[in-house]
């Protein structure tokens, strides 16, 4: 069983010659003039993803804060009503 600190076995086989072959195939498939455009597009996509992730984190934090405030207000209201109400089932003495 692999943990986060142990590298996966299939990643151990990726070394410099294999990376050079992959880059060479990319140049052959896409052409030398297309690679900068491809890399630029990947960079922009990553940047947009990171911005979207940051916005989602902000929205999630606001939702958590709102839920905490609601829970605190509901528990305070419940405590206030429990302290001020008297049981109606209690026997009345006359």
Q: In the chain, what are the domain boundaries?
A: 52-78
> SS3 of 69, please?
helix
Whole-model pTM: value is 0.50
pLDDT in tens, 24-83: 898 888 888 888 888 899 999 999 999 999 999 999 999 999 999 999 998 888 887 876
Read off the pLDDT of each residue in 3-9 and give the average, rounded to a whole number.
59
Per-residue pLDDT, 36: 87
Per-residue pLDDT, 46: 95
How many Cα atoms sit within 13 Å of 30 on the Cβ side? Answer: 14
- Residues 81, 85: Cα–Cα separation, whole Å: 6
Query: 73-89 burial by CB neighbour count: b if 16+ within 10 A, else e?
Result: eeeeeeeeeeeeeeeee
């Amino acid at each position: 069983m692999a943990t986060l600190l142990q590298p996966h076995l299939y990643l151990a086989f990726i070394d410099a010659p294999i990376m050079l072959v992959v880059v060479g195939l990319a140049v052959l498939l896409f052409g030398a003039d297309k690679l900068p455009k491809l890399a630029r597009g990947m960079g922009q996509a990553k940047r947009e993803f990171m911005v979207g992730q940051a916005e989602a984190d902000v929205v999630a934090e606001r939702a958590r804060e709102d839920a905490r405030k609601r829970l605190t207000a509901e528990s305070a209201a419940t405590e206030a009503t429990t302290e001020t109400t008297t049981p109606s089932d209690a026997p009345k003495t006359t």
